[in-house]
Amino acid sequence: MSHPPDGPYGYGYSEPTPWASGIAVVVMVAALTTVGVYAFGAALAQIHPVLSVAVNLIAVGGAAPTAWRWRYAPVTRWVIAGLGAGVLLAWLGLLLL
């Protein structure tokens, strides 16, 4: 398992973690992502269900390497967490409905 670099991009970051504002960012990004991914997936599923699955998997597969590299950046890590939660919630919604 890799450890976070010494600060963002290795530049010695020593400020405390802003949990309140970070969680607010996660919730807002997750809500927007959930709505967007669900709406797009539902629209594609009306055309053909396999198209919806394929487009979602290709999009996530393409974005995952970049998200993985940005996971320790001070602000971006909250956005990445919200995106991940939103995509998972949207996929769950698409599977259940």
pLDDT in tens, 34-86: 999 999 999 999 999 999 999 999 999 999 999 999 888 888 999 999 999 99
The pTM score is 0.81
Confidence of residue 13 (pLDDT cuts 50, 70, 90): low
CA distance 65 to 27: 22
How buried is 35 (Cβ within 10 angstroms: 0-12 exposed, 13-18 middle, 19+ buried)? Answer: middle
